[in-house]
Structure 1
């Protein structure tokens, strides 16, 4: 059995989790009805399970990045960052330092085009 996580896109409530047979499914079409979200599915911690990274705007105008770590029994949620939403944001995973593992880069550009962000290597 695994979890099925669903959310009402018109709210920012924590999603409901229901036991179902099969893989864990996260259904986030749009967290809060603002028309923006981004997700990436990859094994971020090298345990062989697909982890999910989701990025969305919060009500107070920040870009929130949340990691869902697949631990074999479902997902555990970790808030990774909040950046001011002045312009645009993006998340990239790549082996930047060529050590064989995925590196995480989150960027944000303000209204003046000045970069603001960080990376985890």
Structure 2
């Protein structure tokens, strides 16, 4: 004897085909080029479109004459660049940057971290 299941078409539920997923990921800024201008093995600048306006914005990070790391962001506005932000971290060791949607608001975030000369993290800034 075979078991069969019969369903009443009037009570059959339509399957939910709506897909659900976690947070929407953004593509992030388009990195155009990294550059090591002085040949020291560290990238001093990156050209990327941080604000999705189709123009290449520039982030410059390099050692100053007194050994600190300076970070400056420039926004391309179609007529040139305007300085949009500068890190105020006391960057006396090594600094690193990351471009991502850190707060998941759909906008690109630019974070700078600093490690002192002993390798101890001593700063973080979100721009």
The reply to whether TM is greater than 0.5 is yes
Q: 1:49-64 alignment to 2 at 5 Å?
A: 49-64=55-70
Conserved 8 A contact 1:92-1:104: yes
Deviation at 1:23, TM superposition (A): 19
Aligned residue pair count? 121
**Larger Rg over CA atoms:** 2
Is 1:119 aligned to residue 125 of structure 2?
yes
Conserved 8 A contact 2:34-2:45: no
**Between 26-35 and 65-74, the greater mean CA deviation after superposition:** 26-35
Instruction: Return the structure number with greater strand share.
Output: 1
Task: Go from structure 1 to structure 2 and tell me whether the alpha carbon gap of 1:86 and 1:100 turns closer, same or farther (over 3 Å shift).
Answer: same
Unaligned runs of 5+ in 2: 19-24
* TM-score, normalised relative to structure 2: 0.59
Deviation at 1:49, TM superposition (A): 1.4
* TM-score, normalised relative to structure 1: 0.61
How much is the aligned-residue C-alpha RMSD, in angstroms? 21.8
Task: Go from structure 1 to structure 2 and tell me whether the alpha carbon gap of 1:90 and 1:22 turns closer, same or farther (over 3 Å shift).
Answer: closer
**Between 39-48 and 22-31, the greater mean CA deviation after superposition:** 22-31
**Between 76-85 and 53-62, the greater mean CA deviation after superposition:** 76-85
Task: Go from structure 1 to structure 2 and tell me whether the alpha carbon gap of 1:65 and 1:3 turns closer, same or farther (over 3 Å shift).
Answer: farther
